[in-house]
Amino acid sequence: MLNQQSIESIKKMSKLWGEIVEKLNPYTPGEQPNDLNLLKLNTNENPYGPSPYVLKNIKNKCNDSLRLYPDPESIELKKSLAEYHNLSPESVFISNGSDESLAFIFQGLLKKDKPVLFPNITYSFYPVYCQLYEIEYKQIPLDQEFNINLDDYRMENGGVIFPNPNAPTGIPKSLKEIESLLSNNNSVVVIDEAYVDFGTSSAIKLINKYENLIVTQSFSKGRSLAGMRIGCAFSSPCLIEALNRIKNSFNSYPIDRLAQISAMSSITDKIYFEDNCNKVIAARAYLEEQLKSIGFEVLPSGANFIFTQHMQKSGENIYDELRKNKILVRHFKSPEKISNFIRITIGTMNQMHKLVSVMKEIVK
């Protein structure tokens, strides 16, 4: 965090900035506190660590080979993902976190003479990318129940992008609704599936049917590898080639050796992955039930978090009271429509028991 003196110094030197820099309103990530005693439920990390198989293989690869550059195309990882999803390797793209895939998609596929469409309450990186790459965009309002209504996207556009499930609401869309949009839209449609592993159906199975579909995913959430920064995208070979051209014009070595081996190992250990996702889903159901019993409205979630508000207490008040009790959640002050909500990452069942106990005291 910059102090006031640093801010003033930067302002004096900002004459050296390019024109675009001053216009940017950067994305603000969730807090990463130094206090290890906090129960951290604010950034949607998996409460369970990576597979032991992943850790074993990382350890085995910590050797003299780290002096060499990694495979710039992540060929073996592409093959693993292609086999897992029944696609060809030419339909797979690997990136340094799914945000890098999204950045390349905005830069190379969504900058058109018509606006790109996305929800007005969604992942707040989308308008940041539009600012950075000078892309015209239009935000489509959610309905009164905070749902994305895909019928509202049936207009002239330079592309469509939305998370499934949406963030921060957690509400998923069905594949039937997504396919209806795809069949009536000629531009690129991007489905951001960062949270898909916790009960939402993936649109990857539609890749071979619709050439204009791109699906992005992350190894950070379901596979417990947020610290490794691994992302991927799936699409027709034509659109994947476009992303490869941008990658190789920007950074031809995006994924390091240890990241590649950890990703492939996590794909191999399917039982561990599915077991952890099921434990998160069970803890989510418990938390939803408990919060509703003490006066909370909880939006339906297909993610590893819930979005909830209390009928009497403000979201900011609950956030502050939880913080006093060493529990960190996420509160969004804008847009105003969601300012009364808090977003809670699903932890272990024991962590959810602790959270519920504190919540009952707060709303008593």
Q: Is the pLDDT of residue 7 over 80?
A: no
Is the CB of residue 322 less than 8 Å from the CB of residue 105? Answer: no
Task: Check residue 3 and give its pLDDT.
Answer: 63
State in Å, rounded, how far the first CA of the chain is from the last one.
Answer: 36
CA angle 72, 78, 80 (to 5 degrees): 135
Question: Which domains, from first to last, does the chain contain?
Answer: 29-49+271-363 (3.90.1150.10), 64-268 (3.40.640.10)
Mean pLDDT for 27-51 is 89
Task: Check residue 4 and give its pLDDT.
Answer: 60
Task: Check residue 175 and give its pLDDT.
Answer: 97
Task: Check residue 302 and give its pLDDT.
Answer: 98
Task: Check residue 24 and give its pLDDT.
Answer: 82
Task: Check residue 11 and give its pLDDT.
Answer: 65
Q: Is the pLDDT of residue 361 over 90?
A: yes
Task: Check residue 6 and give its pLDDT.
Answer: 67
| The model's pTM | 0.94
Kindly report, residue by residue over 290-336, the tens digit of the pLDDT.
Answer: 999 999 999 999 999 999 999 899 999 999 999 999 999 999 988 88
C-alpha distances out from residue 53 to 96, 97, 226, 256, Å = 22, 21, 17, 18
Q: What is the dihedral of CA 146, 148, 152, 154, to 10 degrees?
A: 180
Mean pLDDT for 55-65 is 96
Task: Check residue 27 and give its pLDDT.
Answer: 79
- Residue 364 pLDDT class (50, 70, 90 cuts): confident
Q: Report the C-alpha gap between 349 and 47 in whole angstroms.
A: 10
3-class state of residue 161 by DSSP: strand
Task: Check residue 22 and give its pLDDT.
Answer: 79
- Residue 18 pLDDT class (50, 70, 90 cuts): confident
Q: Report the C-alpha gap between 67 and 335 in whole angstroms.
A: 47
Q: Report the C-alpha gap between 232 and 222 in whole angstroms.
A: 14
Number of other CB atoms surrounding residue 64 within 10 Å: 6
Kindly report, residue by residue over 130-178, the tens digit of the pLDDT.
Answer: 999 999 999 999 999 999 999 999 999 999 999 999 999 999 999 999 9
- Which of 12 and 28 is assigned the larger pLDDT? 28
133: buried, middle or exposed (CB in 10 Å: 19+, 13-18, 0-12)?
A: middle
CA angle 239, 240, 244 (to 5 degrees): 120
Q: Report the C-alpha gap between 333 and 304 in whole angstroms.
A: 21
Task: Check residue 93 and give its pLDDT.
Answer: 98
Kindly report, residue by residue over 182-215, the tens digit of the pLDDT.
Answer: 999 999 999 999 999 999 999 999 999 999 999 9
- Angle, helix 125-132 to helix 98-109, in steps of 10 degrees: 40
Task: Check residue 14 and give its pLDDT.
Answer: 73
Q: Is the pLDDT of residue 353 over 70?
A: yes
Kindly report, residue by residue over 258-278, the tens digit of the pLDDT.
Answer: 999 999 999 999 999 999 999
Q: Is the pLDDT of residue 1 over 60?
A: no
- What's the whole-number average pLDDT of the chain? 94
